[in-house]
Amino acid sequence: HGASRELSRGVVAVFSTCSAFAALRQDGTVVAWGEAEQGGNTDAVAGKLNNVVAVRSTSGAFAALLSDATVVAWGSRAEGGDVSILLADAGPGAERVCDLLVGVVQLHANAHAFLAVRSDGVVVAWGSPMGLAASTG
């Protein structure tokens, strides 16, 4: 009954992965429940889920855009739930995704990956290679 008590008021939007939900509340906090590996457990990022202005989801992870223009993610690493990873195509001196998620003005998702647009026009994408594949046609 803990989740139902937390959801009793103030919810402005609800998002889902294949087996978890996340609710954005009026006060800018997020509560999640469901399969832990699919984003239902926010323990790893709970202290960072304040001042949330937007939430997006893939099939296995959530990402939240914060009012300071940074992004927090949780859930399946394979589906974008870990922004501490190195860029997939990076070589020596590679940057972690989280280091690039500053000045974010837009946050988008498909079933397998996230994409952030920064105020300087740089696009940062992370998640499954299937979700990151570019169309050439």
Over residues 6-49, the pLDDT tens digits come to 666 799 999 999 999 999 999 999 999 999 999 999 999 989 99
Q: Residue 137 above 50 pLDDT?
A: no
Residue 136 gets which letter from DSSP? Answer: -
pTM: 0.89
Q: How many CB atoms lie under 10 A from the CB of residue 133?
A: 10
Look at phi and psi of residue 43 and say left if phi exceeds 0, alpha if psi is from -120 to 50, else beta: alpha
Taken in order 7, 54, 12, 75, the sign of the CA dihedral is negative
Residue-averaged pLDDT of the chain: 89
Retrieve residue 51's tokens: 């001042």
DSSP states of 35-94: -GGGTT--TTTGGG-SSEEEEEE-SSEEEEEETTS-EEEEE-GGGT--TTSBPTT--TTP
The one-letter code for the residue type at 59 is S
Question: Is the separation of the CB atoms in 76 and 39 below 8 Å?
Answer: yes
97-119 mean pLDDT: 96
